[in-house]
Amino acid sequence: MKQKLKEFLFSYGLIIAGVFLLFVSTLTLAIPSEENENLSLFKFPPYSVASIGGDFFSQKPPVPLAMNSSTFDATMTAFSAVAMDFDSKAVLFSKNAREARPLASVTKLMTMMTLLDLPIDFSRTETITEADSAGGDHHLQTGEKYSLEQLWQVALVGSSNVAINALVRASGLSTEEFVAKMNKKAGDYKLSSAVFVEPTGLSAQNIASAFDAAKLLRESLRYEKIYQTLRLPEYAGRTKEKVWSTNWLLTGWIPNDFARGDIIGKTGYIPGSRYNFAGNFIDEKGRSLVTVVLGADANESRFTEARDLADWVFANYLWPRDAGYDELAR
């Protein structure tokens, strides 16, 4: 009798174990993974991680929607351009947006992010060397001492290559080590077209597509120090003369309807790139748009083309919080 009871319990245990394993395998199949993106069984929607209150699953942010079939028909001399919603990264306009182009001084956005990842004391001072001055600009004098904070301001507001060289040297890394960190960061942000060979932007081998340049600006503006500096139309620190922003939309030298501080960005120019501009435009409704123009034919053109593109997008798209969006989305 005892033997039969043991056999019964053993058989029953095997059945329970089998049911448990089947249940676990079903749960495993239900969890989405990069290796099996087409799996539909109980597949969760795309998710993000909450910063408050723990992790949770939620849908990706809704994107702006076109109100009509209007097309952007203003003059555009730029080789490539893109307009991207800041929040969702949805592309609302593109022209050759995936083709890599020389970034010129738009490179400095990655340089500054890389600097901020390092333990740098911006109250320290550095003396400008002959090697620093190889970048060539009139804002800083060889042999003069400046705080790293002053160099930071001149590097971003005035796009000073000399200041960039001094800041990279002050980081304690060799140029090669620093550039390696820039490229690693580009990989972390999935800027697949971006390649950097030096930190100033003087080399035409520093390249990225307009699409990746838009993502680069977007990520850089998440750094408060970069954001606040790029909002300055001028800097009057201890330099030979006042340093004006190279962003002529911000200074008002190119007419526009945006409030000062709501149109910030980074310029770039070398002969191999022509005229570049990556800008973040915020309209009176608080809608945020990243617009990138690479390879415009003149200094003024990069600003007017970026401005006109932003104006067109704001006039022809509804954002999720705009009146009428829900009806349009149906």
Q: Provide the residue ranges of all domains of the chain, joining segments of one domain with +.
A: 1-60, 66-121+175-329
Per-residue pLDDT at 260: 80
Per-residue pLDDT at 134: 80
- Please report the beta strands in 184-305, taking only residues with DSSP state E, as ranges in sequence order: 207-208, 234-235, 243-244, 263-270, 274-282, 288-296
Of 166, 160, 169, 157, the closest CA to residue 138 belongs to 160
Of 319, 311, 317, 283, the closest CA to residue 67 belongs to 317
Quote the DSSP letter at residue 119. Answer: -
Per-residue pLDDT at 18: 54
Dihedral sign from CA coordinates of 8, 10, 16, 21: negative
Q: Residue 64: CB partners within 8 Å, gap ≥ 6? A: 85, 88, 90, 92, 287, 313, 317, 318, 319, 320
Please provide residue 263's backbone torsions phi and psi, each rounded to the nearest 5 degrees.
Answer: -145, 85
Give the burial class of 45: count Cβ atoms within 10 A of its Cβ; 0-12 exposed, 13-18 middle, 19 or more buried: exposed
Residue with tokens 């998440």: 222
The DSSP bridge partners found for residue 83 are 93, 291
Rounded CA-CA distance 113/196 in Å is 14
Per-residue pLDDT at 13: 54
Superfamily of domain 66-121+175-329: DD-peptidase/beta-lactamase superfamily (3.40.710.10)
Pairing mode, strands 317-318 and 65-66: antiparallel
Contact 211, 97 (CB under 8 A): yes
| The model scores a pTM over 0.75 | yes
Query: At CA 315, angle to CA 66 and CA 224, rounded to 5?
Result: 95
Query: Position 302: which residue type?
Result: R
Tokens found for residue 209:
């597509």
Query: At CA 288, angle to CA 285 and CA 294, rounded to 5?
Result: 135
Per-residue pLDDT at 119: 97
Report, as ranges of residue numbers, the positions in the chain whose pLDDT lies below 70.
Answer: 1-61, 135-136, 238-240
Residue with tokens 């415009």: 296
